Amino acid sequence: MGQHQITVHKVSDQLLLNFFKEAAEAIGSTTISVNVVGNTQPIQMNWSEQAWSIQKEFSWLLKSDDYSIEYVSTARPGIQVNGDRRTFSGNVLYDQLTISSDVNQTGGQPPLSGDRIQLLNDLVSTYLMANLSAASLAFNSPQTVQSLLKSHQTMVTRLEGMVVDIGERATRARIELDEEFNARKSELERQFAERQTDAQRTIEEQKRILNEQDEELRTRAKLLDDRNNTHARRALHEQLKNRLADRFKNLDLTPQTKSSRTPIHTAVVLASIILGILIAAFTYEAITILGSAESTLSERLLVIAKSATASLGFLGIITWYLRWLNRWFERLADAEFQLKQFELDINRAQWVVETAFEWKITQNAPIPDPLLENISRNLFSKSEKDENADMHPADFLASAILGRASAVNLKIPGGGEISLDNRGIRKLQNGGAAE
């Protein structure tokens, strides 16, 4: 890409536009863009019907001897020519001309030929490059210099006037905007105050309605409170009854408890088998010895004692095992009875509560304490267990005999005898119970 900047003499708007019209024709462009002092939008000059046309309100530029143009350019793909008066704003005699070319951006059009380049350079020399001798003669004449300075002073005066006019217009527009803003603000504040007043009235009305509804709800809550409690209480009662019914269906020991009883069952079975074997062996031995004529008395007594001891041990284990099973059965039965009693107590308690609430509603007073005590007597109270129920029949018989006897004579092996009166019997009973 090539770019050439040339410092050229300042010429009038008419000559500058003539140069760019011929330069545009030389490079093959059909558009010229012009920026004029005081105008924010660029002005377009177009080539049509073998002539250049410009907007009607800016047609005076074609005959202007002033220096109103700030920037002018023409271009086609691959080449651009710009004239800039802003670059040398402090210099009243020279402008900046820039010619840019890029062979890679021709857009399919052929590059400028040597003849066109020469024509463009001739146009620059003709319009923008003044003769040095003529220029020196111009500076030798005070009238020429004065005319040039007067022209620039006129342009500066016009620019100052335009700036003042634009400032006045901006000030008037700002004042009008402020007045419009203040009026709109006042209107909005008035509307906001009205809406705020309406909203406050609406809020007060809604508060009044909500207070009335709240009072109605409280009244209804007082009426429905007892009913709601009754429904909740009845639902809880039904849940308890269902859980008790499930417990009755599955009334049994847990697997852990059952597994903890297994060693006892196993030990009893093994002991019974061993004692059974010993009883059979000792019985066979006793039959053999008793049937032998050569056996002595001590042998016969020994074999009888061994058989009797094994038999007593077997009977003792069986008796203890049966009593142990009986105690487990009694505990399960007691638990079942307690559950049934608990269910009855729940039903009774429900009935008592319902009666108390009905009494309070109908009589407008709590139920009397004596009546409440009578209908709720023995609720959830556990009955005392009969300790004699766990006694062995032999223990029960001995207790009964000892309890009714005034004196007891006990014979002991070796020919001795022990006598006990009522006091000794009571002491013996208390000592046996303590053990």
Residues 18 and 102 in one domain: yes
State how far the Cα of 336 lies from the Cα of 386, in Å rounded to an integer.
17
Residues 170 and 97 in one domain: no
Kindly give, in sequence order, each residue whose CB lies less than 8 Å from that of residue 10, ignoring residues fewer than 6 positions away.
Answer: 67, 85, 92, 93, 94, 95
State how far the Cα of 429 lies from the Cα of 421, in Å rounded to an integer.
12
Report the pLDDT value the prediction gives residue 182, as an integer from 0 to 100.
Answer: 92
Residues 302 and 422 in one domain: no
Which SS3 state, helix, strand or coil, does residue 66 take? Answer: coil
Report pLDDT digits (tens) over 19-76.
888 888 888 888 999 988 877 788 888 887 778 888 888 888 888 887 888 889 998 8
Most confident range (mean pLDDT) of 44-53, 284-293, 308-317, 389-398 is: 308-317
Identify the domain boundary among 80, 103, 130.
130
Torsion angle, alpha carbons of 430, 432, 433, 435, to 10 = 120
Residue 279 lies in a domain: yes
Residue 136 lies in a domain: no
Residues 378 and 340 in one domain: yes
When pLDDT is averaged across residues 165-171 and rounded to a whole number, the result is 82
Residue 135 lies in a domain: no
Residue 237 lies in a domain: no
Closest CA to 85 of 16, 21, 146: 16
Residue 364 lies in a domain: yes
DSSP 8-state symbol, 385: P
Range of the domain at 397: 391-435
The number of folded domains in the chain is 4
Residue 323 lies in a domain: yes
Residues 24 and 104 in one domain: yes
Report the pLDDT value the prediction gives residue 191, as an integer from 0 to 100.
Answer: 92
State how far the Cα of 11 lies from the Cα of 152, in Å rounded to an integer.
11
Residue 125 lies in a domain: yes
Residues 54 and 123 in one domain: yes
Identify the domain boundary among 92, 108, 130.
130
Burial 255-277 (b: 16+ CB within 10 A, else e): eeeeeeeeeeeeebeebeeebee
Residues 403 and 372 in one domain: no
Q: What is the residue whose two structure tokens read 């003529």? A: 134
> Are residues 389 and 327 in contact, defined by beta-carbon separation less than 8 angstroms?
no
Report pLDDT digits (tens) over 294-343.
777 787 788 888 888 888 888 888 999 889 888 888 887 787 777 777 77
Residues 7 and 121 in one domain: yes
Residues 124 and 153 in one domain: no
State how far the Cα of 276 lies from the Cα of 263, in Å rounded to an integer.
20
Identify the domain boundary among 106, 130, 154.
130
Residues 320 and 339 in one domain: yes
Residues 23 and 106 in one domain: yes
Q: What is the residue whose two structure tokens read 């143009």? A: 69
Residues 182 and 147 in one domain: yes
Backbone angles phi, psi at 54, to 5 degrees: -140, 160
State how far the Cα of 72 lies from the Cα of 33, in Å rounded to an integer.
6
Structure tokens that stand for 348 in this block:
């009774």
State how far the Cα of 327 lies from the Cα of 27, in Å rounded to an integer.
127
Report the pLDDT value the prediction gives residue 138, as an integer from 0 to 100.
Answer: 47
Exposure of 350 by Cβ count < 10 A (0-12 exposed, 13-18 middle, 19+ buried)?
A: middle
> Are residues 162 and 170 in contact, defined by beta-carbon separation less than 8 angstroms?
no
Residue 321 lies in a domain: yes
State how far the Cα of 425 lies from the Cα of 413, in Å rounded to an integer.
21
- Say how far residue 44 (Cα) sits from the centre of its chain: 63
pLDDT band at 429 (very low <50, low <70, confident <90, very high): low
Report pLDDT digits (tens) over 115-142.
878 888 888 888 887 554 444 544 555 6
